Amino acid sequence: MGEINVAQRTVHIVDSDALHRRDLAQLIRQQGLDCHPFAASADLADALGYLPAGCVLLAWRTPQPPAQATPIAGEEEGPGPMVRAVLSQRPEMAVIVMAVSPTIPQVVQALRAGAVDFLEMPVQADALRPVLEHGFSILPARVAQQQRVGQATALTTQLTPREQEVLRGVVAGLTNRAIAERLRIGVRTVEMHRGNIMQKLQMDNLAALIRFAVFTGVLDQGLDAA
Amino acid sequence: MRPKGGATVQHWLYASNCAVAPAWAGPTVEALVAHAALRNAECGLSGALLFTGQHFIQALEGPATALAQMRSTICDDVRHTHIMTLAEGTLPHRRFDGWALAYAGASVYLADQVRTAMADGAPALLSLLQAFARPLPGANPGCGQHRAT
Ligand SMILES: Cc1cc2nc3c(=O)[nH]c(=O)nc-3n(C[C@H](O)[C@H](O)[C@H](O)COP(=O)(O)O)c2cc1C
């Protein structure tokens, strides 16, 4: 009867097909898991802010093409945007895409968009169990990572724009002199900013500062913008 | 990095079993990919690597000598075992633009697909690798899609 043996595990479902949604919810509850079914992505999106972290099962159903629609238009459509929409709001959720007779490109698109796994619909209990186990096994690390990013990002917002520019220079490996020249400020001022940055970010050495900056993506904003 | 093949591009497609304990697999693959990105570009090799947690599948292609050297290095690598060549030989042109990590993760579904593809032979695996190595739709303007990024 292979239950997943931890209480309070939650699975969120989005499926427009009422019958499949009901069957799936039943399968999930039979495994001793909590289940929140939604009929549409928009309903999930409204609730995402306060839902507990868990697995999200997203049904990807090809819309019925209207009679006079151009056939090529839908070719490249796939589950990617749906996955990214959930992850942009809740990056820690373990998203699993479901589809009827999926093609390789569809599966690839879902995984590349950040889905952790895939299921064929209608979902069978045998297939569901290992996939949910996979999802829940990686969830704690994802939640922890998300918390670290949140804390780090909160710290970064305490930096002034000028301090952020200096930080980018430091991370890019520029000397204080080079940073000073770029920002047209004095070397002493750069040194002062660096001191403040270390203090605000609660760092005691340069290596830790650089790791932090890479981690929070300060680098991504580029140096040339300064 | 430039996939300038000339007339003869050699290729090699293989599958192997990961010999690294699951807990170390993630960091190992990360290090391996970072290293390979540099080395492969240096010696003109393109291709893709897929890692399911249990299996590696890799396609490599490029100049004959470079490929032969890399192949023997990879075969000596203790981080995997049971290296099984699925396809090899000469290609009219490259199938991959550069070198890419196609996928590294523990998707149960994908591991199943890989096992099936391994039974179905090289073409199924190649199309799987190529699908992963292809740029994301929308990431590249000018491939017939008018979706702004
Ligand atoms: C599954 C697998 C795939 C690998 N693929 C590559 C590769 O494409 N390019 C590469 O340079 N090394 C690759 N390696 C690593 C090589 O086996 C070897 O460790 C590395 O090239 C040694 O480099 P070095 O001689 O510069 O120390 C791979 C290893 C494994 C286990």
How is chain B split into domains, by residue range?
A: 6-133
Segment A111-123 shows an average pLDDT of 95
What part of B 14-43 touches A (C-beta under 8 Å)?
none
> For residues B16 and A142, what is the distance between their CA atoms, to the nearest angstrom?
28
Q: Looking at ligand 1, which atom is closest to the CA of residue B77?
A: 17
Write down the pLDDT at residue A136.
94
Residue A82: what pLDDT? 94
**What pLDDT was estimated at residue B3?**
47
B75 against B8, higher pLDDT: B75
> Which of A99-113, A206-220, B19-33 has the lowest average pLDDT?
A206-220
Q: Judge whether residue A222 has pLDDT over 50.
A: no
Which residue do the tokens 């931890």 mark?
A6
- Domain boundaries A6-150, corresponding CATH code: 3.40.50.2300
Tell me how far apart the alpha carbons of residues B17 and B56 are, in angstroms, rounded to a whole number.
6
Residue to mutate among A96, A108, A109, with most B CBs inside 10 A, is A108
pLDDT band, residue A75 (cuts 50/70/90): very low
How sure is the predictor about A35, in pLDDT bands with cuts at 50, 70 and 90? very high
- Establish whether this prediction's ipTM goes over 0.85: no
Most confident residue range from A50-64, A114-128, A165-179: A114-128
Q: Domain B6-133 has what CATH class?
A: alpha beta
Q: What is the mean pLDDT of residues B127-147?
A: 58
Region(s) of chain A under CATH 1.10.10.10: 158-221
pTM equals 0.77
Of B105, B109, B132, the CB nearest to A131: B109
Local confidence band at B136 (pLDDT 50, 70, 90 cut-offs): low
Q: Flag whether pLDDT at A152 surpasses 90.
A: no
pLDDT bracket for residue A219 (50, 70, 90)? low
The share of chain B scoring above pLDDT 90, in percent, equals 48
For ligand 1, say whether the CB of B36 is within 6 Å of any of its atoms: yes
Name every residue whose Cβ is closer than 8 Å to that of residue A114 and which is 6 or more positions away in sequence.
Answer: A83, A84, A87, A95
- On average, the pLDDT of chain B sits at 83
Among A34-38, A157-161, A222-226, which range has the highest average pLDDT? Answer: A34-38
- Distance set, CA B118 to CA B76, B87, B131 (Å): 22, 11, 16
Inform me whether the pLDDT recorded for B149 exceeds 80. Answer: no
Q: What is the mean pLDDT of residues B109-114?
A: 90
The pLDDT value recorded for residue A186 is 95
d(CA A54, CA B149): 29
Average pLDDT, chain A: 85
> B24 alpha carbon to ligand 1 midpoint, in Å?
16
Residues of chain A with CATH 3.40.50.2300: 6-150
- Give the length of chain A: 226
Instruction: Select from B18, B76, B77, B78 the residue to mutate for testing ligand 1; criterion: most ligand atoms less than 8 Å from CB.
Output: B77
Residue B5 has pLDDT above 70, yes or no: no
| Across A69-73, B71-75, B106-110, B133-137, least confident range | A69-73
C-alpha to C-alpha distance for B123 and B117, rounded to whole angstroms: 8
pLDDT given for residue A196 in this prediction = 93
For A158-221, CATH gives 1.10.10.10
The residues that bridge with B100 in the sheet, in sequence order, are B48
B32 in contact with ligand 1, CB cutoff 6 A: yes
- The strands making up A117-121's β-sheet, listed across from edge to edge, are A34-38, A10-14, A55-60, A94-100, A117-121
